[in-house]
Amino acid sequence: MQLNDKKANILVIDDNPAKRLALVSVLEELNQNIVIAESGRDALRHLLNHDFAVILLDVQMPVMDGFETARMIRSRQQSESTPIIFVTAYARGETDMVEGYSLGAVDFIFTPIIPEILRAKVSVFVDLYNNIQVIKQHEEHLELLVAQRTADLTAEIAERKQAEIAIRKLSSAMEKVADSIFITDANGVIEYINAAFENITGFSRTEVIGNTPRVIKSGKHDVQFYQQVWNTLLKGEVYRNVFINRRKDGRLYHEAVTITPLSDENGKITHYISSGKDITESIHSQERLHHLAHHDVLTGLPNRILFVDRLKHALKRAEKRKRTVAILFLDMDRFKLVNDTLGHEAGDKLLRAMASRLLACVREGDTVARFGGDEFVGFLNDVATQQDVVLIVDKLLDALTPPFMIDGHELFISGSIGISLYPDNGTDTQTLMKNADIAMYRAKQRSGNTSEFYRADMNAHAMTRLHLETALRHALDREEFILHYQPQVDLENGNIIGMEALIRWQRNDTDLVSPADFIPLLEETGLIMEVGEWMLNVACQQHSIWQKNGHTALRMAVNISSRQFDSKNLIHSLHRVLQCVDMPADLLELEITESILMKNADTDIEALEALRAMGLRFAIDDFGTGYSSLTYLKRFPIDIIKIDKIFIRDITTDADDAAIVSAIISMAHSLGIKTIAEGVENKDQLELLRERGCDFAQGYYFSAPLSSEDMGILLANSSHVTDNYFKKSSDNMVSL
């Protein structure tokens, strides 16, 4: 094996080819000689021929494991002081780590490996090795001069001059070395320091020479630490370790130090040479990387990795003490609405404010973490009774009651909390977290702002939901989705002016799943994108059929989800659909929610204007249930406002609802926008809406949503309705 003599050698020992390749790819940036060994025996063969600056040694290897390999390496005089870094895939016990350090290990690195940390640690020993080589070369040169002087007394003056020249060269080299170097006598009194020592410590030569290294002592190491240093040096061995030292201005710094004892011809130690590399920034970078790897960047709370680690330790303590640990899963209610209306920056501020409130509610020793999104997780240590948990959970919910002030907006946010208890609901982290999550979903289903303790029967409910989600993922391929159509009526003349397309799921050819059960799942899973495009295609194709049958002026209203609206493919999809079915664009009405428009993003305005340029119409669905605002009605090209059915239901008996409906109609008309009332179910509601000037209506009073066949029959019979045209019975009343 040909190696570059000007570079340091790094030995990588690992029986796993993939791990060897990964380590080599990380270390190649150091531009040194990297030698690989597939086993302990292979490594020993390399050590016969080469010296190494550092050895990376896998712990778990067949035949000869890492520890046995380390013993064999240490038995060789040439490599007894070569630094060894153990690389392992899991944290070993304290006994094993002590054994590793006793074999001369300078560090343990655990996989998965962070490349920056690995390179930083290895580069320290490469630099130290190179510095020692420089010093050794000069030592050999000095020894040669001394030998010449003793061999030839007649040339003493000339040899002395040569020695002085060599010393000046050595001194010059040491002055230019970036590492801190100082030399002491046998008693530890400093005789020499280089410029780097002055730069790093802040002490001048006059302040240090004649003193001892105590001038940079930090007090961070105990007596045993220094005793180990002297025990090693007095045996004539090289000592390597990381010291925490103190600069003249009081600041601490980390230094990778190598101390080499120098002996005379009789073996008596005369001097000590200390070479140190300031690795403070590397240590800080490692600490920052460790923090980032274990904490949520947005809130600073522990992340999933740190939470699970802490929970494992808490469960072990609870097992010994026979105590309870409570795991809490908290999900913010209606957080998506904040993101959709005010934007992600406001959502981030809300998450940080919420994290602060949650932290103020728990005790010292408890943990609150963020797993992502609006999901917070925590555990309560050393719980005596379930009532203790209830008190803290109530405190958490109460902390969310006061409004959050975010960017001038007063936001009311509640939370749903699920709770599982160790050991009643599980004895391992995975089971306890899963059960707390299940309980949280049950709390959320109870309209939120509440908590639920896990019960065994919740698993059955969770499995039902899982099976429903699995079936939903196959529903489109199995052609289980169908569209029903509900007519929309002009209240001035009774004409059917259009219809709204409503999706239904006919599961297994028999079960009709309620939209309330599967549409939220479509949103959560992201399937709404694919299903929404399918819905557009089918609705427009059906409209084309009715158009060919002579119904040329009917509008088709189709709901567009926020995910679809945010998609870059929406405009392209609409172009393609309208061209394929040859449908006039002004007959397609897209129903969008207030939350989409409340974002007020320039990109949203551009998207709406581009769609308007195509001729499409826009309706605001469920108006009045969100952050209703005149601002977006003025900014965006809105054609119709759909008054939500919750205001229509009691319009004839509730004066407030009647006033709200009147205000919406008046506001819309003042802006040149039409109104349509949803959920009209009786003649009294219809008459009141006519009186208040509502333009259009839809609901069971006119017709339940109909299949395409039944809607075709209705259109064929008449496009005009009277109050008595539709004969309804409770038998055909189905939920919208």
| Token pair for 527 | 């399937």
**Domain 484-719 in CATH: superfamily?**
EAL domain (3.20.20.450)
Q: Which amino acid is at 543?
A: H
Question: 487: which strand partners?
Answer: 499
- Give the whole-angstrom CA distance, residue 322 versus residue 384: 9
* Residue with token string 């158009």: 547
What is the model's pLDDT at position 602? Answer: 62
What is the model's pLDDT at position 204? Answer: 92
- Among 243, 585, 127, 570, which Cα is nearest to 119's? 127
- Given a contact cutoff of 8 angstroms between Cβ atoms, the answer to whether 413 and 433 are in contact is no
Block means of pLDDT (10 residues each) for the chain, length 736 residues?
A: 78 89 88 90 87 88 86 77 82 68 80 84 84 75 62 55 58 70 92 90 92 92 92 92 93 92 89 90 79 86 92 92 92 78 86 92 91 90 86 90 88 89 92 92 79 80 70 82 94 92 83 79 81 91 91 91 78 85 90 71 72 90 63 78 91 91 91 94 95 95 93 79 40 32
Q: Which amino acid is at 1?
A: M
- Give the whole-angstrom CA distance, residue 493 versus residue 721: 8
* Domain 125-285, CATH number (from 3.30.450.20, 3.40.50.10490, 1.10.10.10, 3.30.360.10): 3.30.450.20
Phi-psi region at 60: left, alpha or beta (left = phi > 0; alpha = psi -120 to 50): beta
- Given a contact cutoff of 8 angstroms between Cβ atoms, the answer to whether 123 and 131 are in contact is no
- Given a contact cutoff of 8 angstroms between Cβ atoms, the answer to whether 318 and 324 are in contact is yes
- Given a contact cutoff of 8 angstroms between Cβ atoms, the answer to whether 508 and 458 are in contact is no
Helix or strand run (H / E) with residue 490 = strand 481-490
| Token pair for 570 | 């929406």
- Give the whole-angstrom CA distance, residue 610 versus residue 346: 27
- Give the whole-angstrom CA distance, residue 536 versus residue 556: 10
- The alpha-helical segments, DSSP class H, found in 14-103 are 17-27, 40-49, 66-74, 94-102
- Give the whole-angstrom CA distance, residue 40 versus residue 223: 36
What is the model's pLDDT at position 280? Answer: 85
- Report the CATH fold assignment for 300-455: Alpha-Beta Plaits (3.30.70)
Question: 706: which strand partners?
Answer: 485
Residues of the chain with CATH 3.40.50.2300: 9-113
- Given a contact cutoff of 8 angstroms between Cβ atoms, the answer to whether 680 and 702 are in contact is yes
- Give the whole-angstrom CA distance, residue 481 versus residue 470: 15
Q: Which amino acid is at 703?
A: S
- Give the whole-angstrom CA distance, residue 92 versus residue 89: 9
What is the model's pLDDT at position 344? Answer: 83
Residues of the chain with CATH 3.30.450.20: 125-285
- Given a contact cutoff of 8 angstroms between Cβ atoms, the answer to whether 680 and 648 are in contact is yes
- Give the whole-angstrom CA distance, residue 188 versus residue 696: 97
What is the model's pLDDT at position 133? Answer: 78
What does 103-124 look like in DSSP terms, one character per residue?
A: TTEEEEEESSP-HHHHHHHHHH
What is the model's pLDDT at position 733? Answer: 33
- Give the whole-angstrom CA distance, residue 1 versus residue 9: 12
Q: Please count the other Cβ atoms lying within 10 Å of the Cβ belonging to residue 589.
A: 19
- Spell out the SS3 assignment of 641-667: EEECHHHHCCCCCCHHHHHHHHHHHHH
Residues of the chain with CATH 3.30.70.270: 300-455
**pLDDT per residue as tens digits for the range 427-468:** 999 999 999 998 998 888 776 788 889 987 776 666 666 777
**pLDDT per residue as tens digits for the range 34-86:** 999 998 889 888 888 888 889 998 888 888 888 888 888 887 766 777 888 88
Starting at the earlier edge strand, list the strands of the sheet with 105-110: 33-37, 9-13, 54-58, 84-88, 105-110
Cα–Cα–Cα angle for 627, 632, 634, nearest 5°? 140
Query: In CATH, what number does 9-113 get?
Result: 3.40.50.2300
- Give the whole-angstrom CA distance, residue 384 versus residue 266: 70
- Given a contact cutoff of 8 angstroms between Cβ atoms, the answer to whether 396 and 330 are in contact is yes
What does 171-191 look like in DSSP terms, one character per residue?
A: HHHHHH-SSEEEEEETTS-EE
CA atoms within 13 A on the CB side of 504: 20
Helix or strand run (H / E) with residue 370 = strand 367-372
- Given a contact cutoff of 8 angstroms between Cβ atoms, the answer to whether 443 and 423 are in contact is no
* DSSP code for 154: G
Residues of the chain with CATH 3.20.20.450: 484-719
